[in-house]
A and B are shown apart, each in its own frame.
Chain A
Amino acid sequence: NAGVMQNPRHLVRRRGQEARLRCSPMKGHSHVYWYRQLPEEGLKFMVYLQKENIIDESGMPKERFSAEFPKEGPSILRIQQVVRGDSAAYFCASSPGVRRTSEAFFGQGTRLTVV
């Protein structure tokens, strides 16, 4: 049973380009969380999704950022018109959906560098 798969592992974008980060949850997991981590800082919650639904996006910047988790395929975090401040590690986590008692399984992250 493969773990949470994120790709690409490293992504370099020029300012103004779009970045697409993909996350395939563990088999059987229907809940996906996206976090951002800056150097020397903790994991900051961005968005919580279930299949075809955004449950909570209170941590997402209001502009340029969007996320989806379609019925088929991976969850996508999309950043439009990237700026240098978007450079960070982006982690995806999944859980089975029995909330309040389940640990989150994390992917290895995508390290976005904006040049």
Chain B
Amino acid sequence: AQKVTQAQTEISVVEKEDVTLDCVYETRDTTYYLFWYKQPPSGELVFLIRRNSFDEQNEISGRYSWNFQKSTSSFNFTITASQVVDSAVYFCALGVRSEKLVFGKGTKLTVNP
């Protein structure tokens, strides 16, 4: 069975602070896909990144960066110099073989001015 754990339920930071959101996954499959989504209060899930299990390269996109480590089954997400607009719930998700995504419980990030 697949499982995603986001241990941080809520995080509150002050604008311009860096913040890391943790994601730990479990699967016995050797081929799998990991995703991060942002969900603002309006409700839509905004795609941030997708990684497959064969690509351990870390990625940076503007203020966002992702650290994928198969050795620790983690796919952590860092926001550098956070902004108020980053306030949202962030979900990490895992998919294997079928089209069923298994989501973590989410981390609610609040960035205060």
Q: Do A and B bind each other?
A: no
